[in-house]
Amino acid sequence: MQDDALLLRHDAGSRARTLDEMDELGADVVKVQVYWNEIAPQGRRKPSGFDAADPAAYVWGVYDDVVQAVIARGMRPLLALGNRAPDWATARRGRYRGTYRPSAREFGLFARAAGERYSGSYGGLPRVSLWSIWNEPNLFSWLAPQRARDGTPISPSVYRQLYLAGHGGLRATGHGGDTILLGELMPLGAGSPRKVPPLEFLREVACLDRRFRPYRGRAARVRDCAGVARIPTSGIAHHPYTPGGGVHARGKRDEAPIAELGRLTGTLDAIARRGRLPRGLPVWITEFGFQTDPPDPFQFAIRRVPGLMDESEWIAFRNRRVRSYSQYSLRDDPLRQSGNTFLRYSSFQMGLRFEDGRKKPGVYDAFRMPTFVRLLGRDRMEVFGGLRSGSAGRAAVSARVPGGRYRSVGSAPLNSAGYFHRVFRVRRAADAKYRIEIEGRRRDKSPVAR
């Protein structure tokens, strides 16, 4: 789970309550964005005598508390490094401060400082072993510029240097064997000068063209491809948000929403065959959710969202390359104070709770206990589900046809992560409604045909 607003922008009491709830909901990893510009010295010029590789040269603020509190509750912190650079480490100020061609050298030193601080042997602080580098580098509000005037992607080459420098900084401080993820990619962006869709972005990071051939000549020079070899990484961090059409929206060319995870793994495998990435890389879904109406009238009707969540998790579960599933966030952002209707609703409304703290009806329970029922034929149905906080026991499944009562059709054991998946035979499967019960909790579902 991730909720930077609650963990980084509120007091210690709110932070503790947030982590307690994440733990109670069954999260085992808490992702936190580590904002380089907020930790580093301010100003347009790098301070004289500043040792950028020294952890003590930065003001870490709440990050130490968050890391310690996450680990104390038995969860693991995933630190996403970078995201915004200090002014002195950028080529110039862009529309979004800290995003215009950040210095890879300076970022590598910052990653070294972070790696040493959370090495397990610095100032009594615990060790961190899950990392990623930069948030959504294929989106202009996080890294700029995205493209040259002729459309040539620029952000992949800028990100490649940042990633390699960050990876080197972590490796130099004893984290070479840790999980270090590349990407944190947003899933869309085709046809926009301010975005690079994720599959194109990955090819460009690896200096490969649309046919996965290495760039040569001028095309290679403008992309800084000299010397590019296999890029070291433990996996790809991805944010497979859906287009407005929902779970089954396929996206445009080079896009990879939740319905197109196969496109993503296919691209990774093609790049690996060229020797530019390790083979068989896992996919970590590190940010995901659905914005709801209410409160945002431009988003998905809240009554639909539990079903969208259930099916999305089923899609992720059945893809063997997917290593993690994520919820962003726990609580909605406040609405912006603006007379412009679009700007008023431009913050993120994908929490499990409304901004005032109330649980979203159906949504909260869908995250706690995902459940998906799919018809496989006249008398066969597939049930997927789980209880995040459960790691033993069984799921009981019963069915009710119109005019009848719920009757047991069987049960299934939960795996070590609290999930189950089983096919049952049920007479008149399409007419029935299904009840799934795990450790005193239950959800009722109608089947879908997919």
- The answer to whether 80 and 184 have CB atoms below 8 angstroms apart is yes
Q: Which residues pair with 172 in a beta bridge?
A: none
- The answer to whether 27 and 1 have CB atoms below 8 angstroms apart is yes
DSSP secondary structure, 366-405, as one string: HHHS-EEEEEEETTEEEEEEE-TT--SSEEEEEEE-TTS-
- Other CB atoms within a 10 A radius of the CB of residue 341 amount to 10
Domains in the chain, ordered, with CATH?
4-287 (3.20.20), 372-449 (2.60.40.10)
The confidence score (pLDDT) of residue 311 equals 97
The confidence score (pLDDT) of residue 192 equals 93
- The answer to whether 225 and 274 have CB atoms below 8 angstroms apart is no
pLDDT digit string (tens) for the chain, length 450 residues: 999 999 999 999 999 999 999 999 999 999 999 999 999 999 999 999 999 999 999 999 999 999 999 999 999 999 999 999 999 999 888 789 999 999 999 999 999 999 999 999 999 999 999 999 999 999 999 999 999 999 999 999 999 999 999 999 999 999 999 999 999 999 999 999 999 999 999 999 999 999 999 999 999 999 999 999 999 999 999 999 998 888 988 889 999 999 999 999 999 999 999 999 999 999 999 999 999 999 999 999 999 999 999 999 999 999 999 999 999 999 999 998 887 888 898 899 999 999 999 999 999 999 999 999 999 998 999 999 999 987 778 999 999 999 899 999 999 999 989 999 999 999 889 999 999 999 999 999 999 987
